[in-house]
Amino acid sequence: MAGIVSITVSIVYDNFHTQFIKPFFHLFLYLYFVSSSKKWNITVLLFLIAAMIGEFLTARNFVANYVYIVLLFATYFLIGLFLMKSAIKDSKFRIQLTDIYVGLIILIAFTYVVGSIFFITAEELGDFLFLLVATAAFSGFVGGCFYIAAYHSNPNKIL
């Protein structure tokens, strides 16, 4: 519900107003995690806090907070990879011929989109190495999500 409110606010008003809604979204997301898993997890909390602060700073002033935003989202993606570690280990890699074609198409499309954004942004900002680390963290996180969705026996119950 909080996610729908956040999206609605950003559509009806502008990105500036979402800074007041986003913290509630992350709070409700963590409370949902606690109520469904029946446990408190500091790593999940840090994961959501990194995203919450990153989104808040993005809505506040992206250009002025660029370095902090990139660091926070790189941290967010790396913590997300850490949280997925056990699910990735539990996933059974099995390959079929159709998986190869679909996987290659997805990989090529993803590489093209992320690579294009990376090179345009790196050229504009001039900070190649910093952006490379953030892009690698993002790509690893997205890759982990796809891997779990494709090969985990029950991808809905990974935490």
- What HEC string does 94-112 produce? CCCHHHHHHHHHHHHHHHH
Position 124 scores a pLDDT of 82
Q: What is the pLDDT of residue 147?
A: 82
pLDDT of 81 higher than 70: yes
Tell me the per-residue pLDDT of 111-137, one tens digit each, with 9 for 90 and over: 999 999 989 988 887 778 888 889 999
The whole-angstrom separation of Cα 10 and Cα 59 is: 10
d(CA 137, CA 79): 10
Judged against a pLDDT cut of 70, whether residue 157 lies above it is answered with: no
Mean pLDDT of the chain: 83
Average pLDDT over residues 144-154: 80
**Distance from C-alpha of 151 to C-alpha of 144, rounded to nearest angstrom:** 10
Comparing 147 with 14, the larger pLDDT belongs to 147
pLDDT top residue among 72 and 86: 72
Q: What is the pLDDT of residue 159?
A: 52
What per-residue string of b and e applies to 101-131 under the rule 16 or more CB within 10 Å gives b? eeeeeeeeeeeeeeeeebeebbeeeeeeebb
The CA distance from 101 to 108, in Å, is 11
**What would the 3-class secondary structure string for 129-149 be?**
HHHHHHHHHHHHHHHHHHHHH
What's the pLDDT score for residue 125? 78
Q: pLDDT per residue over 82-118, tens digit each?
A: 998 888 888 777 777 777 788 788 889 999 999 999 8
Maximum alpha-carbon separation in the chain: 48
Q: pLDDT tens-digit profile of 31-67?
A: 888 888 888 999 999 999 999 999 899 888 888 998 8
Q: Which two tokens stand for residue 136?
A: 């690698």
Give the model's confidence band at 5: pLDDT under 50 very low, under 70 low, under 90 confident, else very high. Answer: low
